[in-house]
């Protein structure tokens, strides 16, 4: 029997310009497995991405965030997998 997929979570800080904050917030909310835990008025978001152990999907989501034209930076702060 194949092993069941594990659990993966990573913490990220996403930075945008304050004038793009609302647009980026909407894009983050639209992404499956992405939760916004904090944000400020300067364009910073503290988020997590959760997945069922498929690292390729997790990396694709991070790459999608980095490729958004309104996003200036994505910093990886934490990672855990079971």
Q: How far apart are CA 1 and CA 67, in angstroms?
A: 38
| Stated pTM of the model | 0.87
Q: What is the mean pLDDT of residues 60-80?
A: 95
Strands of the sheet with 8-16, listed across from one edge: 34-39, 44-51, 8-16, 71-81
Residue 12 has pLDDT above 60, yes or no: yes
Q: Please, which contacts does 31-38 make with residues 24 or more away whose CB atoms are closer than 8 Å?
A: 31/61, 31/64, 31/65, 33/61, 34/61
Residue 3 has pLDDT above 70, yes or no: no
CATH code for the structural domain at 8-81: 3.30.70.920
Residue 36 has pLDDT above 60, yes or no: yes
Boundaries of every domain in the chain: 8-81
Contact by Cβ (8 Å): 74, 16: no
């Amino acid at each position: 029997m194949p092993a069941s997929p594990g659990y993966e979570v990573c913490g990220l800080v996403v930075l945008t310009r304050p004038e793009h904050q609302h647009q980026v917030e909407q894009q983050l909310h639209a992404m499956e497995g992405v939760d916004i835990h904090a944000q400020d008025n300067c364009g910073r978001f503290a988020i997590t991405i959760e997945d069922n152990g498929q690292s390729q999907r997790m990396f694709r989501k991070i790459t999608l965030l980095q490729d958004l034209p309104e996003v200036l930076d994505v910093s990886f702060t934490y990672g855990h997998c079971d």
